[in-house]
Structure 1
Amino acid sequence: MSARALATAWLNHLAVERGLSANTLSNYRRDVERYLEWLEATGITELGSVTALDIEAYVADLRRGGLAASSAGRALVVARGLHKFAVVEGHIGVDVAADVSPPATGRHLPDTLSIEEVSLLIDAVPTGDTATPVDLRDRALLELLYGTGARISEILGLAVDDLVDCDGILRLTGKGNKQRIVPVGAPAMAAVDDYLVRARPAFATGRSHALLLNKRGGALSRQSAWAILKTAGARARLDKEISPHTLRHSYATHLLEGGADVRSVQELLGHSSVTTTQIYTHVTAENLRQVWREAHPRA
């Protein structure tokens, strides 16, 4: 069986047997196609002809082409999955991809906004009597992202009932359907209440119970949420790349700078391991080093 036929069978297996989401399958399909095109460019059409050196060369080419180490690592995971499937199904005898190491990744300190920059970002969205329903929705989105430190998928997954009578405590459903509770501050609750009273009825068609709606009455999409942040960032004239994760990073950093302990921040972010949360301690430590460099006479 050709490499392309095996890839098709594997993707069908992932969809039917493993039940992967459409978004995950789309990512796998993209990476598989990239791998197959690379193999074909080198004259390889059968997985049985691939060697470990070929796969190492593939990953190296991805890196030389500008792909980040983390993205190249994910591409390798997909190639490994395809080869493992071919072995399990009996189409090839040896899994040459199993021992290929992913490219080393350096520790990346997440981009953050200062407290002042967060205020500028949120205040860039009009409020009060002149605000449109879209403005009120966008403001509620920004306040919730920064006020809870939630992932964008967690905020977009909220239903109206999740915010009604929540008494300042919100239950979020994170990765692996794990639930956690996070406090919601007064500014975020005020923005949500304003949106629910003055804006959401203008969007609602009865088709969706989602808290945040688009103009057609459906749940707000991830792409639209990104666009809202980029628009607010441009209005605030912030010279930084801003994404939903930027506000999550800023939330964690500001908590630690304010004296919160790492374990508490871990719980609020929904990290399964404190090691993941500890990257933010490096951010705050770097801030302290910068202050020291600027202020100490013998720095």
Structure 2
Amino acid sequence: MLNKKPRLPAPVQIPESSSYLQGFRDYLIAQTVSPHTRNAYLSDLIQCSECLTKPLTDWNHDDISDVLIELTKKQKSPRSIARSLSALRSFYKFLREQKLRSDNPVAAHKTPKLGRALPKDISEADVEALIQAPDINTALGLRDRAMFEVLYACGLRVSELINLRLELINLKQGYLRIIGKGNKERLVPMGQMACEWVEKYLNEGRSQLYKSATDYLFLTQHGGIMSRQNFWYAIKRYALQAGIQAELSPHTMRHAFATHLLNHGADLRVVQMLLGHSDLSTTQIYTHVAQVRMQQLHAQHHPRA
């Protein structure tokens, strides 16, 4: 029996007006890129170009971000978005080599990590149960209630929460100044409830824990600085006490902050800034969590689901 040659994919039909894409196709051929990859790149670029009216050759960093948002809204998978970014990165490399551009607007965009698990989902009811679990008649209970309120209201990393200092808090204006990863600074609104509980803790609880000079906000029963392990054990203990079945960790509350904001209509870029993500693709995973949650709610409550 004769060996059959592999069947090559049909070439992608490039619009006649897209001379740059035609040039890019010839560039990929010269680079001996496989027909399958070549077709995939061209298809992705055509699809991306349909997201904006601005010519593909003139896009900047923000335009790429807008396209990533549009692809996410179309429920494209992280793998699909990663391939689109790869196609865009190769296209702008081609333009640079042709002296048609001096920059690559995709350079600062990180490719979404593939194969990572979705963040653990926790309902708003479970969050509320956890927040209300501490005994607010004790100094430690007031501290824990304030910590939970701040963590959920601001979406902080646990390291950012335990390292909060008094000088970083502005209760009058209702915001925190956070020094995040890479010493990047961001302002995060606290919300009324978090402000009220932090103020209550400062007035009634912290003075009972204060043992020696320190400007850290949240203190241990011995007056020291809270550790990640201290807070992790606290969440586990309160989750058990509140009868919460979902697996909880300090990072779960950060996930809940982002997911619940998106569920209630928040803009993805706003969530990105609040979380302190340097790249939008890192934040995009939360849209998948929100979509899964909405599908579950629809299936549960819609009469014709």
1:226/1:243 contact within 8 Å kept: yes
1:151 to 149, 157, 175: 157
Q: Is residue 204 from structure 1 mapped to residue 213 from structure 2 by the alignment?
A: no
Q: Report the RMSD for the aligned CA atoms in angstroms.
A: 1.8
Task: Show the counterpart of 1:108.
Answer: 117
Query: For structure 1, which runs of at least 5 residues remain unmatched after alignment?
Result: 1-103
Cα 1:148/1:296, change in 2 over 3 Å: closer
TM-score, length basis structure 2: 0.60
TM-score, length basis structure 1: 0.61
1:207/1:217 contact within 8 Å kept: no
1:132 to 130, 135, 138: 138
Which gives a bigger RCO, structure 1 or 2 (Cα 8 Å, sep 6+)? 2
Please give the per-residue CA displacement for 1:255-296, whole angstroms capped at 9, x wherever unaligned. 001111101100000001110100010011112222344456
Task: Show the counterpart of 1:69.
Answer: none
1:181 deviates by 0.7
Please give the per-residue CA displacement for 1:128-167, whole angstroms capped at 9, x wherever unaligned. xxx1101001111111100100101111111122225451
Please give the per-residue CA displacement for 1:81-120, whole angstroms capped at 9, x wherever unaligned. xxxxxxxxxxxxxxxxxxxxxxx96231101211111111
Equivalent-residue separation in structure 2 for 1:142 and 1:297 (angstroms): 36
Describe the SS at the equivalent of 1:180.
Answer: strand
Aligned length: 193
Q: Is residue 275 from structure 1 mapped to residue 281 from structure 2 by the alignment?
A: yes
Query: For structure 2, which runs of at least 5 residues remain unmatched after alignment?
Result: 1-112
Describe the SS at the equivalent of 2:281.
Answer: helix
Q: What are the within-5 Å matches in structure 2 for residues 169-248 of structure 1?
A: 169-248=175-254
Equivalent-residue separation in structure 2 for 1:291 and 1:135 (angstroms): 34
Describe the SS at the equivalent of 1:229.
Answer: helix
Task: Show the counterpart of 1:256.
Answer: 262
1:184 is aligned with what amino acid? M
Equivalent-residue separation in structure 2 for 1:148 and 1:265 (angstroms): 10
1:195 deviates by 0.8
Percent identity, aligned pairs only? 45
1:158/1:210 contact within 8 Å kept: yes
Larger Cα Rg: Structure 1 or Structure 2?
Answer: 2
Cα 1:207/1:109, change in 2 over 3 Å: same
1:121 to 130, 133, 149: 130
Describe the SS at the equivalent of 2:235.
Answer: helix
